[in-house]
Structure 1
């Protein structure tokens, strides 16, 4: 799938180096779960999980490449937020980009394409997005996508305060996103 500046595609084994570099950056990871960086082995397991999710569910997190350079800049897409049982059953839209790609509108561009995929191709009726309450960058992306804040809660395992946002197919169809 392509946007003006990005390619969203399935994961490949040779994506590990770029994924591991993104996951090892403390600034990138500061609002993710307990804020810990991931080592190469943890990133390899994440890569296997992302590949398996596509095979098992027919949707997942896309590898996101910058079209101009061909460089893997992060991911965006759909996942089941098992870390927050109170919202289940649900499908979450999320994104993570390497720090040097922040501030260019790439997260919004990639997430908008993934959201369109979720509603138009997967046939979802509702999509949630969950962010650390202090993650103002993600809050702005969610707003641009048309997601509406529903409630604040805490992730049980990490005791992380999060905000849950959502958009329905009907709201999306009214032009709230895309």
Structure 2
């Protein structure tokens, strides 16, 4: 059993493992869920994503966590705190990506809010960001719901993204 990193009223956030490849493929193989990413991912690319996440755990003590339904154990998506380069500085980003069938249930907001609290209270971060695609209205709304403000747009991942920020 993988020990939870964060729990909320409805969710468990736990560390990702190589066994999560099948769960992640539900998102990564869905063109609609991946609309704001360069492309869908195959199994090899999903394993590389897991390796990247495991490296973040080792190097930074944070990364994307697997989000599960607390009551059923169902895989819902991923959310966590990820180091990202913004204008030459490493910022800690709250990132989230969920299975399309659970969109609209408030899971991303609940998980992102829990990550914000964890970042400020447990990790003693002073600031966190989110970097949604400028066209990804649902993701910008999640950032706004957890108290983030858009401060600028930048080019990253070969597209325009907002830099949303929240500080304590």
TM-score (norm 1): 0.87
Aligned counterpart, 2:60: 57
Q: Among residues 5, 9, 29, which one is paired with 1:4 in the alignment?
A: 9
Deviation at 1:70, TM superposition (A): 0.6
Q: Deviation per CA, 1:13-56: give whole Å up to 9, x if none.
A: 22110112211111111112x2x001111001111211221122
Aligned 8 A contact 1:94 1:129 in 2? yes
Alignment of structure 1 residues 5-154 onto 2, 5 Å: 5-32=10-37, 34=38, 36-82=39-85, 85-86=86-87, 88-154=89-155
* Partner Cα distance (2:91, 2:154) in 1: 16
Structure 1 gap segments, 5+ residues each: 170-178
The answer to which structure has the higher helix fraction is 1
* Partner Cα distance (1:122, 1:38) in 2: 31
Aligned 8 A contact 1:90 1:128 in 2? yes
* Partner Cα distance (1:52, 1:153) in 2: 25
3-state SS in 2 of match to 1:114 = helix
Structure 2 gap segments, 5+ residues each: 1-5
Q: Deviation per CA, 1:43-86: give whole Å up to 9, x if none.
A: 0111121122112211111111111221121111111113xx41
* Partner Cα distance (1:74, 1:91) in 2: 19
Aligned 8 A contact 1:9 1:62 in 2? yes
